Amino acid sequence: MLQVSNIAENKAAYIQALKKRNFDAEAIFDEVLNLDESRRATQTQLDETLATSNKLSKEIGTMFKNGEQQKANLLKERTSNLKEESKKLSDELGEILEKLQQLLYTIPNIPHKSVPAGKSEEDNEEVYKEGDIPVLAEGSLPHWELAKKYDIIDFELGNKVTGAGFPIYKGKGARLQRALITWFLDKAVEAGYTEYQLPLMVNESSGFGTGQLPDKEGQMYHVTGDDLYLIPTAEVPMTNMFRENLMNESDFPVMCTGYTPCFRREAGSYGAHVRGLNRLHQFDKVEIVRLETPENSYAAFDSMVDHIKALLKDLKLPYRILRLCGGDLGFTAALTYDFEVFSTAQDRWLEISSVSNVETFQANRLKLRFKNKENKKELAHTLNGSALALPRVLAGILENYQTEDGIVIPEVLRPYCGFDIIN
């Protein structure tokens, strides 16, 4: 969430920057600033009314002590009127604050200066590519056919038990899935991240804190009986662990990792591009999250990108990195790099990770602050990334490592799997 003071100071620059997102901010900024002016005027009036009431209350006490009951009773009538006025002003202030808050919730983050303008994923910029695309034998299969051939993932059984988008992994498929999770976690811990085991449901405050609510409400599974939400990513509970914290500069960096299943309704998703593991309603992911000071957050962003590059290099999967344009940038992000692995059997790129610097956008919602060297309170920067999301990594392994004899397991995973090939 943007700070009102920053909107006031940078109005013209913010309007121009948000045009990269195809978001016209001028009218909404005017409304925000008008509401804030009303807030300040109402707050001043309320403070003055309360101060007068408190002053008169002290005078009434003195009058009663001095036996001046008639004067005291006259003042009591005035203080009663002041209390009614202060109640009215307090209610007005609450309404203004609620309107202001709800309005601020609708404004996306300001994109970083390096973010290109654009309307859709077609306008994203490729910034890096690594790995040779393997040449597969004639008759090579997409992963959903391989899963059926080797009996390692059952999409139809998952559909029977729950519905489309909830596959059941079995045998060597389940063991490969578990191996990937454990290896991703081990690599994150080696890199200095602290591992957490997290709740799979969060309350509404957590959803608002990291920006999934109200922006992504329709994409989240809502447990209505308890007013809880199934997490769309471990970023939500992980970042919310620090909600309303006041930290010291010496506490940084904070580096967290965790494995969770993730749940996304993906309403409106259909067609060949969502077949098999390409898009699921439940999937496994290892997340990395960092809290940083503003001066260090972009160096931390580069470190997270390098961490994911190393994972893909070890898996020997061909991949590329895209800098997302304004039109494809997530609501909370200032800068996002997407990682895509090349699916040789499908002959297309599949997104497997996003790394984002959110700057102060979440911290302002979370009230996550720290005391800087001058002992002044400042908002922290938050960053998050997938390291990695499993479905499309698994799809890439199945498709790119297929041979006539079976699916060869990447060398780094063999000690975790306990087998070298699926056949």
For the domain that residue 167 is a member of, what is the CATH number? 3.30.930.10
pLDDT given at position 237:
98
Please say which residue of 71, 104, 137 terminates a domain. 104
pLDDT given at position 65:
80
Does the residue 186 lie in any domain?
yes
Phi-psi label, residue 337: left if phi above 0, alpha if psi -120 to 50, beta otherwise:
beta
pLDDT given at position 278:
93
Does the residue 115 lie in any domain?
no
Does the residue 114 lie in any domain?
no
pLDDT given at position 273:
63
pLDDT given at position 271:
53
153 and 53 in one domain? no
In order along its 423 residues, the chain shows pLDDT tens digits of 999 999 999 999 999 999 999 999 999 999 999 999 999 999 999 999 999 988 888 888 888 888 888 777 777 788 888 999 999 999 999 999 999 999 999 999 999 999 999 999 999 999 999 999 989 888 899 999 999 999 999 999 999 999 999 999 999 999 999 999 999 999 999 999 999 999 999 999 999 999 999 988 889 999 999 999 999 999 999 999 999 999 999 999 999 999 999 999 975 555 556 789 999 999 999 999 999 999 999 999 999 999 999 999 999 999 999 999 999 999 999 999 999 999 988 999 999 999 999 999 999 999 999 999 999 999 999 999 999 999 999 999 999 999 999 999 999 999 999 999 999
Does the residue 51 lie in any domain?
yes
Domain count, the chain: 2
75 and 146 in one domain? no
Please say which residue of 104, 136, 169 terminates a domain. 104
For the domain that residue 21 is a member of, what is the CATH number? 1.10.287
157 and 83 in one domain? no
Over its C-alpha atoms, the chain yields an Rg (Å, rounded) of 27
351 and 239 in one domain? yes
281 and 230 in one domain? yes
262 and 156 in one domain? yes
Please say which residue of 55, 73, 104 terminates a domain. 104
**Domain of residue 64, residue span:** 4-104
129 and 18 in one domain? no
215 and 90 in one domain? no
396 and 256 in one domain? yes
pLDDT given at position 272:
52
403 and 367 in one domain? yes
215 and 142 in one domain? yes
